Amino acid sequence: MSLDFWRNVAVIWLCMQGFILLLIPLAIAYGMVMGINWVVAKTPPLFHKAQGYSRLMRDKTDLYAGKVADPLIRAHGAAHRTQTLWTKVIDLDKQ
């Protein structure tokens, strides 16, 4: 066995190692690309669903805020009307 034989074996061995070591990052990159494609395919329906939930929360919040605020606004208006009436009555007594 001459030195040429071992040189050829070493070259083939290094090529195989390089190929295997490059195959691992290539497989990882391929998996990442496939994962990103899967995420991109799944996001529009999920965004549509999330938008539906957001719209439902907004509508319910408006409904319950109105139910809570309407009596308070009416009570404040009645108190203001009463205060205005008393102010006018007191002003009439002074004249």
Tens place of pLDDT for every residue, the chain, 95 residues? 789 999 999 999 999 999 999 999 999 999 999 999 999 888 888 888 889 999 999 999 999 999 999 999 999 999 999 999 888 887 766 66
What does the alpha-carbon distance between residue 42 and residue 38 come to, in Å, rounded to a whole number? 6
What does the alpha-carbon distance between residue 13 and residue 20 come to, in Å, rounded to a whole number? 11
Which of these, 7, 40, 45, 23, lies nearest to 53 by C-alpha position? Answer: 45
